[in-house]
């Protein structure tokens, strides 16, 4: 009963957490403000985000035109605002300064950006700062390997337990092999999960993996770390209840064995919920449907993968047991296929995201591996339906393909899903950058000339739109430019361009705050007409 209460409490905490808390951290405002001029050197830099980011995982650099560091102390959380970070600064002379920041979002994805400010009434012309490229540090070989091992081990353990207690109970003493395999998979999961959290924490804190004394207290500081440590706790409950259920198992199960079996299955269900609750599913609307799809996908994959491993350690297996597993595996494959398609529909804003984004390409690789495994499984299913034993080679091939699909899933869950801005962008009229932008578009009888100079991150960019019709400038139009980050989910920024000359609309701003791909949508409304939109994809560099 106590274990069930713990499971219920953990699951309820995940589901009750507000969806906004799992989005990528976005910088809302700063002091000094981006592109602003201050007359006296500020004593500190203030960064306000849309979620409470952990200062111990934040990296903030403030440099002058010569690259000299101006930060004079550790990053700290504001005492007045939990969403704000404060960075003490040295007393800096007149001139331009570059701020580069990096924080870790609640879902474990790093987010970084840059902006400039200037000190003094006459700081001189802005220098060309070098801004580091956007790097998705959640995708490294070490993190992917440990994430794969974590998923593979706990999925295998759950599937082996299901086979041992629900499918192949009639095999008697031979089930000891499955029990041993379950014990090995459980032990690997109990070691791999905290090792994965430790390595991720080392990445967040920019420390060595071997700095245990410094890293262990930080493992549950991030929401991502807390989520996977809860997975460790729930899996330990599952492993304990499963061991009791196996120990008490008899041809006619006593009440105690039934209680232990129920508790183990409940704990297994909670374990399979955690990856989605600590990852993308929890931040993707509709949230409940996303979590259900993710849970169903993991549950079906666990039954299939663990069951195949069980058949392998039991080989040769009586045909009756193989047929029972084949029926269960067929249902798992159907659920796996349906939930996978459903999750892709939920997470991908456009069909083209499948081949235009890293996230979509990972889905294609995973789907290809699963399709190959299903094809091999179909061969075994046909053989068992005809009364023939499955082939050992095909069982091994299925396991290898499923293990490879788990690698693809580890990469997939480490990548940020494509942002919703891709869907609102429509069909871009042009793809421009890096470097100064010069694009001309003919739309609705109008000629639209777009210029972005210098088209660089962390400096004021001049956005100019020349609007003409039949060679004559169009005056009095409303022109609004919206900048949307296309490499990860971030808030859009909209600016109204003023008419600087007949038919020429312009605005200077630091809308490009991150290196990468940006969608620039121009909403053009000529006076007295409905108007039209023009979208371009811009590649901004430092």
CATH placement of domain 25-119: 2.60.40.1220
Residue-level pLDDT at 177? 93
Percent of the chain with pLDDT over 70: 93
21 has a pLDDT exceeding 50: no
pLDDT range class, residue 13, cuts 50, 70, 90: very low
- Considering the chain, what is the average pLDDT of its residues? 86
Alpha carbon 175 to chain centroid, angstroms: 39
pLDDT at 17 over 70: no
Token pair 């950006």 in the structure block, residue: 113
**Fold match between 25-119 and 422-540?**
yes
pLDDT-derived band at 22 (thresholds 50, 70, 90) equals very low
Give the pLDDT score at 190: 97
Instruction: Check residue 20 and give its pLDDT.
Output: 38
* pLDDT over 90 (residue 102): no
For the chain, the domains span 25-119, 141-418, 422-540
Burial 24-63 (b: 16+ CB within 10 A, else e): bbbbeebebebbeeeeebbeebbbebbbbbbbbbbbbbbb
Least confident of 44-58, 108-122, 126-140: 126-140
Q: What is the rounded CA–CA span in Å between residue 315 and residue 281?
A: 38
Per the DSSP assignment, residues forming a β-bridge with 465 are 450, 505
Radius of gyration of the chain (CA): 28
Least confident range of 26-30, 275-279, 337-341, 459-463: 26-30
Backbone phi and psi for residue 69, each to the nearest 5 degrees, phi listed first? -75, 135
Question: Residue 192 has which token pair?
Answer: 């791999």
Each residue's pLDDT tens digit, 59-85 = 899 998 888 899 989 999 998 898 899
Q: Per mean pLDDT, which range of 191-195, 409-413, 484-488, 520-524 is the poorest? A: 484-488
User: What pLDDT, on a 0 to 100 scale, did the predictor assign at position 27?
Assistant: 79
- Which whole number is the average pLDDT over 373-391? 85
- Residue pair 284/291 in contact (Cβ under 8 Å)? The answer is no
pLDDT greater at residue 221 or residue 230: 230
**What is the average per-residue pLDDT within 338-364?**
88
Predicted pLDDT of residue 212:
85
Q: Give residue 137's pLDDT.
A: 52
pLDDT band at residue 182 under the 50/70/90 scheme = very high
The three-class DSSP label of residue 49 is strand
Compute the distance between CA of residue 5 and CA of residue 70 in angstroms, rounded to an integer. 51
Residue from 163, 145, 158 nearest 406 by CA: 145
Distance of alpha carbon 62 from alpha carbon 304, whole angstroms: 52
Q: What was the pLDDT predicted at 435?
A: 85
% pLDDT > 90, the chain: 41
Q: Give CA–CA dist 307/390, Å, rounded.
A: 14
Across 16-39, average pLDDT? 67
pLDDT digits (tens, 9 = 90+) for 186-219: 999 999 999 999 998 888 887 888 888 888 888 8
Cα-based angle 309, 314, 320 (whole degrees, multiple of 5): 100
Q: pLDDT for 313-325, tens place per residue?
A: 998 888 888 888 8
Under the banding of pLDDT at 50, 70 and 90, the label for residue 389 is confident
CATH code reported for the domain at 422-540: 2.60.40.10
Residue 100: which H helix or E strand, with range? strand 95-104
The pLDDT of residue 491? 74
Q: Is pLDDT of 487 > 50?
A: yes
The token pair at 97 is 């300064």
Give kind and range of the element (H or E) at residue 265: helix 255-277
């Amino acid at each position: 009963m106590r274990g069930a209460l713990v499971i219920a409490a953990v699951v309820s905490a995940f589901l009750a957490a507000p969806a906004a808390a799992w989005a990528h951290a976005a910088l809302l405002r700063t002091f000094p403000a981006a592109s602003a001029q201050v007359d006296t050197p500020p004593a500190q830099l203030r960064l306000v985000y849309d979620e409470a980011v952990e200062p111990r995982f934040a990296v903030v650099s403030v440099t002058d035109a010569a690259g000299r560091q101006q930060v004079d102390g550790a990053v700290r959380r504001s005492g007045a605002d939990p969403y704000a970070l404060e960075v003490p600064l040295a007393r800096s002379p007149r001139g331009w300064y570059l701020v580069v920041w990096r924080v870790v979002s609640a879902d474990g994805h790093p987010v970084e950006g840059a902006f400039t400010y200037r000190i003094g009434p006459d700081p001189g012309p802005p220098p060309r700062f070098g801004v580091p490229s956007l790097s998705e540090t959640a995708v490294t070989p070490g993190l992917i390997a440990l994430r794969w091992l974590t998923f593979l081990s706990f999925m295998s353990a759950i599937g082996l337990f299901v086979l041992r207690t629900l499918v192949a109970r009639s095999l008697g003493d031979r089930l000891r092999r499955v029990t041993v395999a379950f014990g090995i998979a459980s032990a690997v999961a109990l070691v791999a999960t905290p090792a994965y959290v430790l390595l991720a924490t080392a990445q967040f804190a920019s420390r060595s993996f071997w700095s245990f004394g410094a890293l262990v207290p930080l493992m549950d500081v991030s929401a991502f770390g807390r989520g996977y440590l809860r997975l460790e706790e729930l899996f330990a409950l599952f492993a304990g209840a499963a061991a009791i259920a196996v120990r008490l198992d008899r041809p006619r199960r006593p009440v105690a064995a039934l209680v232990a079996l129920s508790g183990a299955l409940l704990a297994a269900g909670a374990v399979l919920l955690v990856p989605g609750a600590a990852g993308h599913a929890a931040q993707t609307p509709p949230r409940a449907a996303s979590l259900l799809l993710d849970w169903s996908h993991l549950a079906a994959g666990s039954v299939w993968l663990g069951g195949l491993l069980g058949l392998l350690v039991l080989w040769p297996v009586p045909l009756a047991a193989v047929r029972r597993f084949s029926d269960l595996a067929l249902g798992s494959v159907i659920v796996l296929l349906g939930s996978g398609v459903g999750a892709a529909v939920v997470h991908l804003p456009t069909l083209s995201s499948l081949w235009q984004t890293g996230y979509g390409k990972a889905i294609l690789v995973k789907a290809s591996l699963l399709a190959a495994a299903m094809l091999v499984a179909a061969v075994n299913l046909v053989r068992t339906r005809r009364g023939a034993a499955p082939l050992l080679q095909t069982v091994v091939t299925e396991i290898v393909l499923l293990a490879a699909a788990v690698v693809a899933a580890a990469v997939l869950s480490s990548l940020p899903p494509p942002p919703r801005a891709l869907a609102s962008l429509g069909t871009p009229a042009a793809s421009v950058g890096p470097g100064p932008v010069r694009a001309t578009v003919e739309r609705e009888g109008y000629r639209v000339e777009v210029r972005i100079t210098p088209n660089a991150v962390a400096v004021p960019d001049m956005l100019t739109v020349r609007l003409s019709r039949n060679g004559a400038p169009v005056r009095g139009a409303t022109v609004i430019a919206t900048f949307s980050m296309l490499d990860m989910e971030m808030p859009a920024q909209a600016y109204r361009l003023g008419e600087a000359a007949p038919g020429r609309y312009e605005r200077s701003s630091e809308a490009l705050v991150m290196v990468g791909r940006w969608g620039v949508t121009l909403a053009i409304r000529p006076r007295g007409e409905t108007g039209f939109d023009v979208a371009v994809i811009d590649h901004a560099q430092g």
